[in-house]
Amino acid sequence: GDSVTQMEGPVTLSEEAFLTINCTYTATGYPSLFWYVQYPGEGLQLLLKATKADDKGSNKGFEATYRKETTSFHLEKGSVQVSDSAVYFCALRYTGGFKTIFGAGTRLFVKA
């Protein structure tokens, strides 16, 4: 079945460091891919999305490229801030489908 695998956390970085959170997926078709973020005490928020191969999603300095050949959707940010500390979830969903499949999440700590 379809699944999403993320790198295990926690990831601890200093402010202004470069961030990569790896995400790979297994899918029988061609889903849309998402990154959600969950700040402490808050609900899941959509961070960015990409709907087809080679699309790049971007938001708030984060970006991820849909790579069909490597079945990956790695999240990157050039310079993290303390306020980026959160749990990040990679996910997939088929357009028009009802179910989003999530990875286990990667916790990010950013130190000042």
Q: Among residues 43, 69, 70, 112, which is the contact residue for other proteins, using CB under 8 A?
A: 43
All residues at 6 or more sequence positions from 28 whose CB lies less than 8 Å from its CB, including other chains: 1, 2
Q: Among residues 74, 103, 108, 110, which is the contact residue for other proteins, using CB under 8 A?
A: 103
Residues 16, 57: Cα–Cα separation, whole Å: 21
Q: Which is nearer to other proteins, 17 or 94 (CB)?
A: 94
Is residue 105 within the footprint of other proteins (CB under 8 A)?
Answer: yes
Q: Longest C-alpha distance within the chain, in Å?
A: 42
SS3 90: strand
Q: Among residues 12, 46, 56, 83, which is the contact residue for other proteins, using CB under 8 A?
A: 46
Judged by the rule CB under 8 A, the positions of this chain that interact with other proteins are 4, 32, 36, 42-46, 49, 51, 89, 91, 93, 95-105
